[in-house]
Amino acid sequence: MAESKYLTEHYGKPEYCTLDGYKKLGGYQVLEKALKMQPQQIIDEVKASGLRGRGGAGFATGVKWGFLPNNGEPRYLLCNADESEPGTFKDRLMMERAPHQLIEGMIISAFAIKAKKAYIYIRGEYTGPAAILEKAIAEAKAAGYLGKNILGSGFDLDLDLYIGAGAYICGEETGMISSLEGLKGQPKLKPPFPAVQGYLRKPTIVNNVETLAAVTYIIRDGAAGYRKYGTEKSAGTKLFSISGNVNKPGTYEVPLGYKLMDLINIECGGMKPGRKLKAVVPGGSSAPVITAEECERATLDYECLAQMGTMLGSGAIIVIDDSNCMVDVLSTITHFYHHESCGQCTPCREGTGWMEKIVHGIVHGEGKPGDIDLLLKIADQMKGRTICALSDAAALPVLSFVTKFRDEFEYFIREKKSKVRGGQIYAQMHA
């Protein structure tokens, strides 16, 4: 099996960014087909396709759409383009290379869930993609794909772009809704879930860029056509963002169920010369790390990775070779979560800071013998204790790093220097 260009078929063609170029390559034809369908038909098709959310949680999209209450309240569709999970950069590529693909997917999805207003929430740092999207939205509006009575179907949709300002937590759907409401991006209590009470307490569906883009393809090829790719439970293709110590990092689209080692060795050109694979973080920084041996068995689908105690997440694969000190890597991760905790729930607010201080102490040679067990205890108590999953996301890497590479941590605490690179790691060289 090799890389399959399905969503990314036309990526890299500069004209694909413009409306005309996009239309020439088959764009907006599916929209015409979709607008002739019944909304429920589209939802059923998406349900049948087995499409699962590509943002991280992997929740079945069709099922999520089915949660919307039928009470005649206005509904909202939000596109989550606040891609901030460390290691993830696929959405940026999609928005830069194919803005109209996202817009078409959003119009179809909005039509399916009967939303009259849709937002794309893009992270503030993505000023380039934001400009491209604004232009594309203006083009689509001018061409009548957005606005009143789209293509004579009687369906209205207003699509707008909302820019964030630098907060990881706004990638969480209720955090994003808070941010969109003009508040701090702090997640909201669930229940009520956004599908029932979301943006402005109205039913709201939040989907990832890739998920919404894939809807177009499901309608084009039908559920069966989409299911040609991937496995029974993990259908379709997925864009994987691969970074770290490989020869050709980048975004690759492969069907789900693809072998992890194939992706690293074939698509990414393998490890750097003379280096050995040490570990892989398979789904963005919050996914528990897997060791080189586990990588041999890993296939890129939701089930296999869940079985290994980790997750597919957003499809961000960070490859770590043997030149890296795992304590040092963990220190950047704990710093990240400490910095990004919104500060609402106590276990997360205090726990992320505590863990960072401990790991920081270890990398600066101030570790104490009890630190490892304390880290495990703190991480364990942070799991499942908070409103959103950030606390879990902060705890899981700590748990997995410490248990799977315990020897490195113990060595560091004992010798006050790293086991790799002869102890030459950043924290100690630049103290």
Assess contact for 348 and 341: CB atoms under 8 A.
yes
Interaction residues for another protein, span 381-410 (CB under 8 A):
381, 384-387
Residue 334 CB, nearest distance to another protein (Å)? 11
Nearest Cα to 99, choosing from 14, 166, 34?
A: 14
Burial of residue 240 (CB within 10 Å: 0-12, 13-18, 19+) is: buried
Residue 34 CB, nearest distance to another protein (Å)? 26
CA 205, CA 113: separation in Å to the nearest integer?
Answer: 8
Confirm or reject binding of residue 260 to another protein (CB under 8 A). no
CA 11, CA 210: separation in Å to the nearest integer?
Answer: 14
Query: In the set 14, 152, 154, 189, which binds another protein (CB under 8 A)?
Result: 189
Query: In the set 374, 404, 416, 428, which binds another protein (CB under 8 A)?
Result: 374
Would you say 302 or 336 has its CB closer to another protein?
Answer: 336
Query: In the set 62, 198, 244, 315, which binds another protein (CB under 8 A)?
Result: 244
Residue 11 CB, nearest distance to another protein (Å)? 14
Confirm or reject binding of residue 418 to another protein (CB under 8 A). no
Number of neighbouring beta carbons within 10 Å of residue 14: 8
Interaction residues for another protein, span 60-99 (CB under 8 A):
83-89, 91-92
Query: In the set 166, 225, 269, 369, which binds another protein (CB under 8 A)?
Result: 166
Would you say 36 or 116 has its CB closer to another protein?
Answer: 116
Assess contact for 49 and 235: CB atoms under 8 A.
yes
Residue 91 CB, nearest distance to another protein (Å)? 8
Confirm or reject binding of residue 365 to another protein (CB under 8 A). no
* Residues in contact with another protein, shown as a per-residue x/- string from 299 to 338 under the rule CB under 8 A: -----------------x-x-x---x---xx--xx-xx-x
Would you say 294 or 340 has its CB closer to another protein?
Answer: 340
Q: Which stretch binds another protein (CB under 8 A): 55-63, 222-230, 253-261, 357-365?
A: 357-365
Nearest Cα to 219, choosing from 21, 36, 402, 95?
A: 36
Number of neighbouring beta carbons within 10 Å of residue 129: 24
Q: Using the Cα atoms of residue 10, residue 162, residue 32 and residue 41 in order, give the sign of their dihedral.
A: positive
Nearest Cα to 116, choosing from 68, 156, 73, 161?
A: 156
Would you say 84 or 234 has its CB closer to another protein?
Answer: 84
Query: In the set 163, 212, 379, 402, which binds another protein (CB under 8 A)?
Result: 163
Beta strand pairing call for 299-300 and 117-122:
unpaired
* Residues of the chain by 3-state class (helix, strand, coil), percent to 5: 50, 15, 35
Confirm or reject binding of residue 282 to another protein (CB under 8 A). no
Residues that bind another protein (rule: CB under 8 A) add up to a total of: 86
Residue 106 CB, nearest distance to another protein (Å)? 17
Q: Which stretch binds another protein (CB under 8 A): 104-112, 157-165, 290-298, 399-407?
A: 157-165
Interaction residues for another protein, span 169-188 (CB under 8 A):
179-186
Would you say 215 or 363 has its CB closer to another protein?
Answer: 363
How many helices (H) and strands (E) would you count in the chain? 18, 11
Which H/E stretch holds residue 79? strand 76-81
Q: Please enumerate in sequence order all residues whose Cβ is within 8 A of that of 356, keeping only pairs 6 or more positions apart, or say none.
A: 331, 334, 335, 337, 338
